[in-house]
A = this chain, B = another copy of it.
Amino acid sequence: MHRSYRKPSNDTIAEEYVTAHIIDGAKIAEDIRNQVKREAAALKAKSGITPGLATVLVGDNPASHAYVRSKRKTTADLGLESFGYEMPKETTQAEVVALVRRLSADPKVHGILVQLPLPAHISEEAVLGEVALDKDVDGFNPINIGKLGMKNRSPTFAPCTPAGVIELLERTGTPLEGANAVVLGRSNIVGLPLSLLLLGRNATVTVCHSRTRDIAPLTRAADILVAAIGRTRFVTAHMVKPGAVVIDVGINEIADASKKSGKRLVGDVDFDAVKEVAGAITPVPGGVGPMTIAMLMRNTIRAAEIATAKCT
């Protein structure tokens, strides 16, 4: 399956961040991080406040530890304060709730990130419900999700990965208004909030998922196709309209004997084939991945600004 590339008819895909149809998420994320760094310095100079992000990690999931390490490193690199809390997997729900409640009341903490998933004996809803709305930099509070979709309402924070996808689309000049956007996946942290964000930007939005029948005719009608289902190379070239913008949120590990580690990461999209059809596409890694942390940093700066505005 090898088709010739057709440039989107609107002719607006930005050259700055797109090379040979490939969207450079790493570069966009870097630009956002640099801006956050400048804003953090400015906030400190103006009000003496250093934005602070608390991370709460329960248990010993290696992937969760790697994510939190990476978030904490970026936080420090940008001149923000990082407060790290690690609790053993036996920790009770009451103990986690007590910690989050304390952080919600702590004026030095502007954002709170509870790394998911929590151990099975702890209710995610109960813990996340303790995160103060003004510190909910993950944007997972149902109030924020509800306001994301409602007219004449604005969430305090939008969830980081969906906000990162919107940023990728906007910075590459992808028209959203009136576009047919198809989102594969309806998770609380990506598919659902992203669908609401796209709707708020006047896209016509279709949400597909594991129960969707006959998915290809739907995806082939998409001007913007986002895959967030966690299934290796699920989106094949024949599912993509020539010229469509394809955003791959999937991060799946597959075996690769050619690598020292014996494995590598691939997305939900069959990248090599789809890039020949798509107008623009994000790679994995280096596409959506770096955007999530960048948007978390931006939300943390916003949280610090909200707190500062309340005190002055």
Contacts and interface: CB of A to CB of B under 8 A. Distances in A.
A151 B202 CA distance: 24
Interface string A241-285: 000000000000000000000000000000000000000000000
Interface in A185-235: 186-188, 192, 196, 199, 202, 204-209, 211-213, 217-218, 221
Contacts of A199: 186, 192, 207, 209
A75 interface: no
A291 interface: no
Contact of A143 (B142, B180, B211): B142
Contacts of A144: 146
A208 B199 CA distance: 9
Contacts of A207: 199, 204-206
Contacts of A196: 149
Interface residues of A, number: 37
A293 B186 CA distance: 31
A179 to B, nearest CB: 8
A153 interface: yes
Given A150-B188, A152-B125, A188-B150, A209 B218 contact: no
A46 to B, nearest CB: 30
Interface in A107-130: 124-125
Contact of A152 (B124, B145, B177, B212): B124
A181 to B, nearest CB: 10
Contact of A218 (B143, B153, B192, B204): B204
A12 B20 CA distance: 51
A152 B186 CA distance: 12
B151 A145 contact: no
A141 B141 CA distance: 13
Nearest to A179: B213
Given A145-B150, A151-B187, 10 more contacts: A142-B143, A142-B145, A142-B146, A143-B143, A144-B146, A149-B149, A178-B213, A186-B199, A204-B209, A205-B206
